[in-house]
Structure 1
Amino acid sequence: MKLSDKIAEYRLNHPWYTFEFFPPKTDQGFENLLDRISRLAALNPLGVSVTWGAGGSSRERSLELAGIIQAENGIDTVLHLTCTNMEQGTVDEALRGAKERGIQSILALRGDPPRGEEYWIPTDPRFNHAIDLVKYIRSSPEFSPQFCIGVAAYPDGHPDHDTDEDGEIAYLKAKVDAGADFIMTQLFYDVDNFSRWLRKIRKMGIAVPVIPGIMPIQTYSSFLRLTKLCGTRVPASLAAALEPIRNDDSKVKEFGVTLATDIIRRITDEDDIFGVHFCTLNLEKSVQRVVEDLGWHGRSPVIKNRLITEAPDFNYAPVQPRSSSLVIDPYNASDSATKGLADHHIHPTGDGRGEVNNASSWDEFPNGRFGDFKSPAFGDVNQWGGSAVSRNVALSQWGNPKSIADITSIFLSYLHSQTQSTPFYPDPLSAESSLILQHLEKLTQRSWWTVGSQPAVDGAPSTDEIFGWGPSAGYVYQKGFVEFFAEKADVEKIEKKIQEEGSGWVDYFAGGIDGECVTNVPEGGRNAVTWGVFPGQEIIQTTIIEQESFLSWKDEAFSIWAEWASFYPPESEERKLLESITRDRWLVSIVHHDYRNPLALWNFLFEGTPIL
């Protein structure tokens, strides 16, 4: 059934909600996501949406996931579809694939800006913007009867556009006039601004249903990263409420549930908001809690003591201004320690039995780069898909590198905080990395460009302002590891040194763009390099390095080099340099297992047989 038809039907009875999922990058993560979706299906969502990788990069996975949800879970599915870097034949193939699977709803998106911008030659110039995709579907006798179409809106402004709000709304109206049936918004936390924006678009004549995007806060660091990526406004009252608890992941997660519940209650009090869209990030517990706290599961809920018994007219009716205050402080916590793991984006893991290894409790404290490859949340976290790297950032921060020395200078400038990002990480150097700065500098000066690292930690309090994570009253541990790009000849030296001098304390993975991977980790071996011990819980492992997750990250890392190269003209020195690096360098990941000695990894690298 089309989502637009279901909205019209269900708003007669009670509020509703949809869930959003992305296809994990690994086979086991994909299979385990299906189990997670089956559990969440018990909440009776009106539908689910499945994201689409930039340029169709996850096309097969997205179609497969959407088809399975549609067929096996009996949930109507909305397939995201981006149009930039997509040929007409590719668009047709995707639409036919959706049609064959019984999917009847499409979310039409622009997707990533063309890579290389003015140097990008469109494969089909008809598909440059979301409106092009809307018009194409609506003009097609084959596809128009099959699909209802949704489009995206940005109440806080589009993060990639300099257009003012009136211009953005005019473009939104053009998409609706072209044939869009509903609107899904980017995530937001400023309820008053959303209400103002909603009134404004109604006055502009946009009458289709608006589905607000809601993302419960999972961790403080991921909240900062995602709001920056999406250009989301953070009210001062919200920032102040998070400040005292930001170092306690359990309290932040609980706060996120309370906040999301409050936001939904407020916006569903508006006359024409009767449903919301949960951006799940493939996580389940917070979303389940919000739905249960709202009382929306298993009965016809009441909004402000008003049982919905009739459908409102979606034509604009003025909404009275609301209070400008949004203060939620359910904990009155006093701990103001600063968490220093902003560059960690991973998810917990575990095999076997026990609380942490129960699939329903996976991903409780996502805080590092490598999660368990079996986790449903292993993969991308950007709501609409796409890269955080833009050509403007590349040119302004990294200039025009024409030599290996220029690349080395870029990475050194980042370590010295002279630049605020690298192509591999969009934020300033973390406090954690600054503690091993001299070692990272030494590697980088050798033109071994570091893209990931952590120092060894032996039982820091979970409230530690740099290393802390998880609930309070616990201890956290880390093995030292480092990741960098090096030439194949250097990789061979590293392999030999580990074999001859590692004494079983050092594990490594190394791989090139051609798919080759070398390692001394046994098949199926899994190195937990970050873990925590907390009252009333089994040991929680949040950083796992093993072969499948390394290979997934390796592919992503080399795609970043390729994207960076595409920002420069064909045959330019910059593009030739970056393309040669993509071909010639290997990604190397080294772990030292002696977490009690903070110098163990670095002494191994810099002492004994020289490899630098």
Structure 2
Amino acid sequence: MKLTEAISRDDASTIHPYYTLEFFPPRTDSGFENLLTRLSRLSVLNPIGLTITWGAGGSTKQRSLDLAEAALGENPVTILHLTCTNMERDMLDDTLDNAKARGIQNILALRGDPPRGEEYWIPCDPQFQHASDLVKYIRKRDGDEFCVGVAAYPDGHSLDEDAEIANLKLKVDAGADFIITQLFYDADGFLMWLKKVRESGVEVPVLAGVMPIQSYASFLRMTKLCASRVPPSLIASLEPIRHDDEAVKEFGVEFATDMIRTITSPNHNGPTVQGIHFCTLNLEKSTWRILDNLGWIGTTAHVLDEGKNRLIQPDSNVRPSSASLLITPHDAASAATPKEAEDTGPISHTTTTLPALPANQAVTWDDFPNGRFGSADSAAFGVRDPYKNELGMTAAEVHRLWGQPETIEDLNAMFLKHLRGHSPFSTTPWSPNPIAAETKFILPRLIEFTSKGTWTVASQPAVDCMPSDDEVFGWGPKDGFVFQKAFCEFFCEFVTLERLKHKAAALDTVKFFAANAKGEMMTNMAPGESNAVTWGVFPGKEVMQPTVIERSAFQAWAEEAFGIWSEWALFFPPASTTRQLLERVRDERWLVSVCHHDFKNPNDLWDLLLET
């Protein structure tokens, strides 16, 4: 079904705005399978549609198509994101044909990452320079077979506001049927922008992009990547609770609820939105909570009659209580195993009341965190930015930050500059932020280790029973205690890895994973064994283990880490000394993740590494 058809039916039969849910293809097979189970659970929220993101340059093509096809089993309105930048026309044609064959009728046409100046990238078809080009191409190629949407940027993008709105109108005039906006956190600013959009003559449906705040770190990262305006009052509210993940998530639910009420309320001068687009980051708890706060669950028309493949109106008087959503005090601490996640069965599309979701099931077990250090079985594993390439930078930014290294010594200097923090721009392609406060406790050891030509990209000191509100090491709810094992991750030569392997063989306390760009692995871990390197104990809650490193998680990260070497190299001409150096290092070095389990002796790991 096309989104515009579903919206037309919705207008006559519901009492609140419609909404879509966005997902990205997980990096691991187990994460993919668990996301399918999550889609089944979320289907009872009755979204008008599901959208599936598309990796830069078609990097997630097959997984995106597979996920979109699976999503069709949960919702007839499935929208596939599709970008044209850095993609050959043959790939676009193949994707459109493939989508059509799978029954996908909706496309969100995006330009994708902009052309980056002097970057030496994969050649692409010059006819696709803007999203409007892609819209025109789809219309010319497939007529009205697809319902086509485009993106909009309430907080600006690469142009000033008037130019952005003119560009949006150009996309609509090219044949776009609907608009989904970039995420934003300034409701008043959004409403002023929407008024200008309508005054420009754009009349197609606009779905406002809402990304609930999941954690303080992810909020800062995503708003930076998306260039979103953040009201000072929002930062002021988050600052006192930034170390309490559960409090931040709760605040994010309430903030998103209030923002949606503001932009959908008719009690202000100007237009309101009738559609909300939830950027879920493959998590579900916040979306459940927000929709429950709004009173939008159980009163919508978006229940699928599977026998007749049409939308039907459920009993609008049936409304589940908050209790039936299982918003319990300890669900953020759930630690269900992947098996428990897999055993959570699908829920029928025609259910009109929400069943209770018992504690310790997959609705909550991956709430903290949703990043690369979490469980690889999580549907949210590995998200950095599902919309961009790994670096997400222009050529000018890359050259300004890291220069044009031509020797191993130049690379040594870059990694050491990051550790020593010589300037605000002291980063590496694998460490986009300045070193954390806790790193200063092991900084002399890291500098000495890196000086020997072994390049560290992640680390943490050992911590034994630190209060959860500690300014440096604290995290999680108040009145708890946190622990962590010494951990280090680095690129090294094979001879160094061999020495480490030899030394670790005599120590039960040292465990490691290692991988190279070819996908070869080396480890002293037993099959199924993992390193839980951070955990916390809190009153009335199960033990939280937000940092777990195991085989499939490390493999996924290693693929990404070596991909960053490849992408960095593409910013330089093929025959240049810099490109040849970066590609040679990528092919010859190993990525190693080593953990020392004796957190009572914080110096043991660093003594071992320096001996190695």
Tell me, yes or no, whether TM beats 0.5.
yes
Q: Say if 1:90 and 1:368 are closer, same or farther in 2 by CA, change over 3 A.
A: closer
Query: Could you say which residue in structure 1 is the equivalent of 2:26?
Result: 24
Per-residue displacement from partner, 1:253-288 (whole Å, max 9, x unpaired)?
111110000010011125441110000000000100
Could you tell me how far 1:351 is from its partner in structure 2?
A: 4.8
Shift, 1:457, TM fit? 1.0
Instruction: Tell me if the contact between 2:84 and 2:131 (Cα under 8 Å) persists in the aligned partners.
Output: yes
Q: Which amino acid in the other structure matches residue 376 of structure 1?
A: A
Compute the displacement of 1:436 (Å). Answer: 1.3
- Could you tell me the TM-score, scaled by structure 1's length? 0.87
Once the two structures are TM-superposed, the CA of residue 201 in structure 1 deviates from its matched residue by: 1.5
Equivalent residue, structure 2, for 1:463: 469
Q: Is the 8 A contact 1:51 1:384 kept in 2?
A: yes
Trace 1:345-356 onto structure 2 (pairs within 5 A): 350-351=337-338
Distance in 1, matches of 2:362 and 2:57, equals: 32
Give the letter aligned to residue 498 of structure 1. Answer: A
AA aligned opposite 2:524: N
- Per-residue CA deviation, residues 473-503 of structure 1 (Å, 9 max, x unaligned), is 2111111110110111221121112123xx2
AA partner of residue 239 (structure 1): I
CA distance in 2 between partners of 1:74 and 1:400 (Å)? 49
Distance 1:434 1:116, change over 3 A: farther
Alignment of 1:183-582 (within 5 A): 183-270=179-266, 271-299=271-299, 350-351=337-338, 357-366=360-369, 369-390=372-393, 391-418=395-422, 419-500=425-506, 503-582=507-586
Describe how 1:59-208 pairs up with structure 2 within 5 A.
59-70=61-72, 72-114=73-115, 117-120=118-121, 122-140=123-141, 143-158=142-157, 161=158, 163-208=159-204
CA distance in 2, matches of 1:227, 1:465: 23
Encode CA deviations 1:351-405: one digit per residue, 9 max, x unaligned. Answer: 5679885211122221764111110101224253433431222111111111111
Question: Secondary structure of the equivalent of 1:359?
Answer: coil
**Percentage of pairs with the same residue:** 55
CA distance in 1 between partners of 2:102 and 2:223 (Å): 34
Say whether the 8 Å CA contact 2:34–2:377 is kept in structure 1.
Answer: yes
Change in Cα spacing, 1:465 to 1:478, as seen in structure 2 (3 Å) is: same
Judge conservation of contact 2:468–2:476 (CA < 8 Å) in 1: yes
Amino acid at match of 2:218: S
Q: Deviations over 1:288-318 (max 9, x none)?
A: 00001100011269xxxxxxxxxxxxxxxxx
Tell whether the 8 Å contact from 2:191 to 2:272 is kept in structure 1 after alignment: no
- Using a 3 Å threshold, how does the CA distance of structure 1 residues 110 and 353 change in structure 2: closer, same or farther? closer
CA contact (8 A) 2:213 2:248 kept: yes
Corresponding residue SS for 1:470: coil
Could you state the TM-score of these two structures normalised by the residue count of structure 2? 0.87
For structure 2, the 5+ residue unaligned runs are 302-333, 342-357
Offset of residue 117 of structure 1: 4.0
Deviation at residue 52 of structure 1 after TM alignment: 0.7
Measure the CA separation in 2 of the matches of 1:430 and 1:601: 19
Show the counterpart of 1:315. Answer: none
What secondary structure, in the 3-state scheme, does the structure 1 residue paired with 2:421 have? coil
1:53 corresponds to 2:55: yes
Name the counterpart of 1:329: none
Q: Measure the CA separation in 2 of the matches of 1:248 and 1:387.
A: 28
The one-letter code sitting in structure 1 at the alignment partner of 2:253 is V
Conserved in 2, the CA contact under 8 Å of 1:176 and 1:206? yes
Q: Do the aligned residues in 2 keep the contact of 1:229 with 1:388 (CA within 8 Å)? A: no
Q: What secondary structure, in the 3-state scheme, does the structure 2 residue paired with 1:518 have?
A: strand
**In structure 1, the residue corresponding to 2:182 is in which secondary structure?**
strand
Equivalent position SS for 2:207? strand
- Is the 1:349–1:544 Cα contact (8 Å) retained in structure 2? no
Q: Which sections of structure 1, spanning at least 5 residues, go unmatched?
A: 302-346
Q: 1:95 to 1:430 in 2, by over 3 A?
A: same
Find the aligned partners of 2:340 and 2:383 in 1 and give their Cα distance: 27
Q: d(CA) in 1 for partners of 2:371 and 2:77?
A: 33
Change (3 A) 1:121 1:351: closer
For residue 41 of structure 1, what is the aligned residue in structure 2? 43
Asked if structure 1 preserves the Cα contact closer than 8 Å seen for 2:119 and 2:570, the reply is no
Residue pair 1:19, 1:278 contacting (<8 A) in 2 also: yes
Contact 2:382 2:557 in 1 (8 A): no
Match of 2:597 in 1: 593
Kindly state the Cα deviation for residue 123 of structure 1 after the two structures are TM-superposed: 2.9
Coordinate RMSD, CA, aligned? 1.9
Cα distance between partner residues in 2 of 1:525 and 1:116: 45
The one-letter code matched in structure 2 to 1:482 is C
Flag the 1:193–1:114 CA change in 2: closer, same or farther, 3 A: same
For the 8 Å contact 2:151–2:182, the answer to whether it is kept is yes
Q: What letter corresponds to residue 120 of structure 1 in structure 2?
A: W
Aligned residues: 555
TM-superposed deviation, 1:409 = 0.7
Task: Using the TM superposition, name which of 430-439 and 564-573 deviates more.
Answer: 430-439
